[in-house]
Amino acid sequence: MVWLVDPKIHAIDCGDNSCKYATDKTGMRTNGGCRCSRNHGHKVEFFLMQNYVEALKKIQELENQIETTEAAES
């Protein structure tokens, strides 16, 4: 998965192979399922909110590019 905000900044990684927020899945890791939401709920919430805000910014940038392109073609 590609995140707009780097999850390493928030130190989110439960050590599981299925961790949704791990960026480096090498070495000994568990197979019990991602536990980040349960163990670090506040960090996950903040991280996801930051990604949401960045996604909205990206959408606005793309909409502005479309408008500029359409205006130039007219």
Write the pLDDT tens digit of every residue in 2-49.
Answer: 899 999 999 899 999 999 999 888 999 999 999 999 999 999 999 999
Output the pLDDT for position 20. 93
For 15, list phi and psi in degrees, rounded to 5. Answer: 90, 10
Whole-prediction pTM: 0.79
Task: Write out the two tokens for 40.
Answer: 């670090």
Angle at 43 between CA 53 and CA 38, to 5 degrees: 125
pLDDT of the residue at 70: 86
pLDDT in tens, 9-19: 998 999 999 99
